[in-house]
Amino acid sequence: MPDRVQSPHPDIERILLTEPQIKARIAELGARISRDYAGRELTLVSVLKGSVIFLGDLMRAITVDCSVDFIGLSSYSGTKSSGVVRLTLDLRESPEGKDILIVEDIVDTGLTIHYLLENLKTRSPRSLEICAFLNKAECRQREVGLKYVGFDIPDEFVVGFGLDHNERFRNLPYVGVMRPNGGK
Ligand code: 5GP
């Protein structure tokens, strides 16, 4: 089936990552993760809500046995990080003794993922790694080791493919940069 024709949403200034680009990269990530975790049972911890679209595609590209759990964190309001991270929903299952791979939508300052790493470390997982769909390396305030990264992107506020602006745009099948005053 041909890929969908993409006419950007009126609030989107430009498309940064197209659907075919994203699809191809997720296939590569899935293959790498499957090789790295061969013979092990993987637990994906998806950070709500931004990572769920990425999670759905990534899971289907992973060929080792895996289960999924969800965690809710909040630090953003509008287009700015508040810097204060809150746990809004905890895991259902204990991560103790498990091979945990955190699935995150985007790492920006690194404050959110740093908080999550510290939190999960205290619960004694067997291993703990991060797979981030997007990485804004130049914005980092906390260094965090990202084992798997989909795309390195510049310091611009992006939406689509799970990422929102005030809960909108998550359903866009691409990643785009919002127009100034977009989302109003
Ligand atoms: P950090 O704590 O690393 O600064 O931010 C991580 C969280 O902020 C992400 O999980 C995401 O929810 C949000 N975030 C950071 N940059 C962006 C962006 O460009 N677009 C959107 N929609 N959310 C972002």
Q: Is 170 inside any structural domain?
A: no
Q: How far apart are the first and last CA of the chain?
A: 35
In the reported structure, the alpha carbon of residue 76 is separated from the centroid of ligand 1 by a whole-number distance in angstroms of 7
For 19-78, the pLDDT digits (tens) are: 999 999 999 999 999 999 999 999 999 999 999 999 999 999 999 999 999 999 987 555
Give Dmax (Cα) for the chain.
Answer: 49
Active site residue 90: no
In the reported structure, the alpha carbon of residue 23 is separated from the centroid of ligand 1 by a whole-number distance in angstroms of 21
Q: What is the CATH number of the domain that holds 67?
A: 3.40.50.2020
Number of domains comprising the chain: 1
Q: Is 5 inside any structural domain?
A: no
In terms of pTM, does the model score above 0.85?
yes
Q: Is 63 inside any structural domain?
A: yes
Q: Is 144 inside any structural domain?
A: yes
Helix (H) or strand (E) holding 27: helix 19-36
Q: Is 86 inside any structural domain?
A: yes
Q: Does the pLDDT of residue 89 top 70, yes or no?
A: yes
Q: What range does the domain containing 111 cover?
A: 19-156
Q: Give the pLDDT confidence score for residue 86 in this predicted structure.
A: 86
Q: Give the pLDDT confidence score for residue 81 in this predicted structure.
A: 61
Q: Is 23 inside any structural domain?
A: yes
Q: List the structure tokens of 55.
A: 């999670």
What atom of ligand 1 comes closest to residue 104's alpha carbon? 10
Mean pLDDT score, 92-118: 96
Q: Is 168 inside any structural domain?
A: no
Q: Is 182 inside any structural domain?
A: no
Whole-number Cα distances in Å, 154 to 28, 136, 177? 22, 6, 10
Which residue, judged by its Cα, is nearest atom 16 of ligand 1? 108
